[in-house]
A and B are shown apart, each in its own frame.
Chain A
């Protein structure tokens, strides 16, 4: 098991935002964590990445509790950019190379070419879609065990979405696993093995994407709209 989340709970002051969430991700699977804004998706991801503490419950990544070891195994794309706007792509690559032992610079440079980006371009001069591509390149160029992508398609146009999805798919090895959150369900659902739908701090539905389609004769997008109101 690459990721195990057991009876996770989290409150901010008095407000409970995650109320007993449990799920598992097996090796080689791409799992979609789906929920409305404010449903707790990002909070779960932050706890897996040790950016927020857990109130109760347990998270294991490849059998390890959250800490330095698990951070090295996870490649995380946060919802908001953390990159320094004054740097060029090449400088950001240098930084990643220093910081992550599993960063494959050759791969990153090749992906950059495929996405038609100039390695000497400065981030400050890039559009939102271009920056999103740079971040995907960074995240997918690490040889991680678990990739966690928080809204990888947020705010980019449909053609850039296609490029990003292609990059994700063609660089995902079956030794790894992936957890993706998105509200653009229709765009992402065909790459998902499994879906977890959360609403009001709890999991309301989870299962294999194709089996859910078969059972409900509906797309994941429609199933989501029906149960999350």
Chain B
């Protein structure tokens, strides 16, 4: 079972994040078919209902779609993928700044450090 979950956070949310990441970094391309619920359940080592719930949410935000009897596919709408990519980037940067501010650094300090890299 090849995925390490952080048990403090709902598992379906972690699966959502992981699949989003795979779409953003192009492991899954637009129009790619996703593995079945059963396969994903086995891959992640979690209950099939948890996978269902994660896929449902991904479908609600339009990142994937269901083709009746055929399975689930990554959207071909590049705008949605770009939007999710931007959101993910923003979230990571927000978290990063939060941590830095907690360390007592100012925004300027952080920018200076980043520029030096």
Give A contacts to B, CB under 8 Å: 28-30, 162, 165-166, 169-170, 172, 174, 186, 189-193, 209-211, 213-214, 217-222
Contact = CB atoms under 8 A, between A and B. Distances in A.
Interface residues of B, number: 19
Interface stretch (B41-49, B74-82, B100-108): B41-49
4 cross-chain pairs, A with B, having the tightest CB-CB distances, nearest first: A219-B7, A210-B10, A213-B10, A214-B10
A165 B47 CA distance: 11
A30 B47 contact: yes
B8 interface: yes
Contacts, number: 63
B11 A219 contact: no
Contact of A193 (B7, B13, B42, B50): B50
Nearest to A216: B8
B53 interface: yes
A208 B7 CA distance: 14
B1 A217 contact: no
Given A169-B47, A174-B48, A210-B53, A190 B10 contact: no
A24 to B, nearest CB: 16
Given A166-B1, A221-B7, A222-B8, A192 B42 contact: no
